Amino acid sequence: MTDIATRATRRVASPGGRRRLNGGGPRAGTIFAFVIPFFLPFVLFYLVPVGYALWQSVRVVRRTGGQYGTSYTTFGGFEQYTKVFQNHEFWSSVGRIGLFGIVQVPVMLFVALVIALLLDTPLLRLKSVFRITAFMPYAVPGVIAAIMWSYLYSPQLSPVVDLLNGIGLHPDFLGPGAVLWSAANISTWLWTGYNMLIMFSALQSIPQELYEAAKLDGAGNWTIAWQIKVPIIAPSIILTTVFSIIGTLQLYAEPAVLRQISSNISSTFTPNMLAYAVASGNNYQQAAAISVVIAVITFVLSFGFMRLTSKRAGL
């Protein structure tokens, strides 16, 4: 936290500093009653599918009697994973989605942070209207949002393309060099409001006395925003970044919908699309191995980012 924020915090800190909590903790039965509604679906719809995917990923299909012989499934060790690591299409999709995340995630979170700071400033009028407007795209299902934007991207249907063609720009939103960023634009439009709401909620929890103390030290609105508000809500920014990293590696709906109107998106455009394409060919063991590798990459990136940023932020 900056020096201004530290001094402001000391101004509003009470001499006592801490309250003494009285009373005992909740009983074990009460805790169990609250945990069970979460724990059962978590086991049935998360742990069990993950365990089944792990089991499928170490199995292979063999045949006896040649190509047209009887097939059977047996334990294959890491054979499926070896095929994944040797699959050029897999690494191409990972590289493509990595480029997507490096550009799209910072842009989306920066826009969400700016909107959250604007909504938190006392200078902005009609805050509720702007808050609902910014959050509204998140209420649209991802597939519906992709269909809406595909209409705006289509050269045959889009009024936006017609307008730009009329002024001599001639954009090709579905071209080989632009289709990835067209998908990124859909994701940014769809998820900015969600991340903004998390950041805005964190801003609302900051005591107003802290701002008043900072103003006594000569801080203006700009200084308060970037040297007090942003450092204080750093945990929320880290959280939204982790969510965005996970969401990036799960990208499927946007390119899958755009694939219907663009030949520049293949069935292996993203890792999730590759896993689905392999599973569609009845190679469920290979698809399971791809899914497990995607999950491991997601865990490493998100956990590594969280650990690195938490240490730097002193959390």
Give the C-alpha distances (Å, rounded to integers) separating 153 from 164, 175, 184: 12, 10, 13
Q: How far is it, in rounded angstroms, from Cα 89 to Cα 258? A: 19
Quick one: which of 160, 198, 181 has its CA closest to 107?
Answer: 181
CA distance 146 to 268: 18
Beta bridge partners of 59: 75
How confident is the model at residue 95, as a pLDDT? 94
Give residue 132's pLDDT: 84
Is the distance from CB of 225 to CB of 117 less than 8 angstroms? yes
Flag whether the pTM goes above 0.85: no
Q: What is the pLDDT of residue 17?
A: 44
SS3 at position 182: helix
Question: Residue 10: its pLDDT value, please?
Answer: 59
Per residue of the chain (315 residues), what is the pLDDT tens digit? 556 556 555 555 544 444 444 444 557 678 777 888 888 888 888 889 889 999 999 998 887 766 676 777 888 889 999 999 999 999 999 999 999 999 999 999 999 999 999 888 877 777 778 888 888 888 888 899 999 999 999 888 888 889 998 898 888 999 998 999 999 999 999 999 999 999 999 998 888 888 888 888 777 778 888 888 899 999 999 999 999 999 999 999 999 999 999 889 999 999 999 999 999 988 999 999 999 999 999 999 999 998 888 776 655
**What's the confidence (pLDDT) of residue 54?**
93
Put residue 142 in one of left, alpha, beta given phi > 0 → left and psi -120 to 50 → alpha: alpha
Q: What is the pLDDT of residue 310?
A: 75
